[in-house]
Chain A
C-alpha cells in the first residue's frame, strides 16, 4: 500500500538556520502531497500542499516541491524562528473516491533555539 517516510527527529536548530526535513513516498498513482504542522497541545494544521508533479507549495516561508522522479516532497525554510518549533508531518492523499484518505509519515519534531 501507499506509504510516507520522513526523517526522524528531533531536529534542533538555532534561530535563522536553514531547515530541511526530508520526505519520500510510495504510491501506485499520482497522489496529492501535504505538509501539516502540529504545535504543542494543538491539532494538525495544513502548512502547504502540491497536487501534481513539479508543483511547489509554499506558506509562511516554508516550501516543498513535488518531485515525481525521486518520489520526494522535502520541506525547506531559509531562516527558522523559535515560533516554528513544532512537529511536522508529511502526508499523501490516496485516491479514495474523493474523500481525504490521508497517509501520514511518523512526524519530525523541530526545536529552534534563540
Chain B
C-alpha cells in the first residue's frame, strides 16, 4: 500500500464519545500534519509533527489531542466534541529538509458530531 491512508473514512459520534482518527504514511516521510476542512472555510492547519516532535499547535481546543508514536503513524484523539467540530479531517506528510518536498494528503475522515 502506498501514499497516505486515513481510517476511518466516515465517523459519526456523539458529543460524549471518545474516538480516534488514524493516519499512516508509506512514503518514508518524517513530518506529518493534521488539517481541518470545514464547509466554506479555508483549510486550517491544526498540528504538525516533525521528526516525531510536535512543532506546531494552532490554538486547537484541548478536546483534540494528537499523538505521533513514530514517523509513519499519526493519531487524532477526540473527546467531548461539539457539533461545530463536524468537518473533513485531512492528514498529510512530507519530507523535512528537502528543498523540493511537497505535502501528500490522505483521503480524509468525514466526521459528524451529533
A positions within 8 Å CB-CB of B: 4, 34, 36, 41-46, 49, 51, 89, 96-102, 104-107
Q: Nearest CB to that of A105 among chain B residues?
A: B42
Interface flags, B43-84, vs A, CB<8A=1, else 0: 101001010000110000000000000000000000000000
B42 pairs with A101, CB closer than 8 A? no
B positions within 8 Å CB-CB of A: 4, 6, 31, 33, 40-43, 45, 48, 50, 55-56, 90, 92, 94, 96-108
A44 pairs with B94, CB closer than 8 A? no
A99 pairs with B94, CB closer than 8 A? yes
B97 pairs with A106, CB closer than 8 A? no
Residue pairs across A and B with Cβ atoms less than 8 A apart, 25 shown, are: A34-B102, A41-B107, A42-B107, A43-B90, A43-B107, A44-B92, A45-B105, A46-B102, A46-B104, A49-B102, A89-B43, A97-B50, A99-B33, A99-B55, A99-B96, A100-B33, A100-B94, A100-B101, A100-B102, A100-B103, A101-B45, A102-B43, A102-B45, A106-B41, A106-B42
B38 CB to closest chain A CB (Å) equals: 11
B100 — which chain A residues lie within 8 A by C-beta? 51
B86 CB to closest chain A CB (Å) equals: 16
B97 — which chain A residues lie within 8 A by C-beta? 98
B106 — which chain A residues lie within 8 A by C-beta? 43
Known: A43-B106, A99-B31. A106 touches B50 (CB 8 A): no
> What's the Cα separation between A51 and B106 when bound, in Å?
23
A102 pairs with B103, CB closer than 8 A? yes
Known: A98-B97, A99-B96. A104 touches B42 (CB 8 A): yes
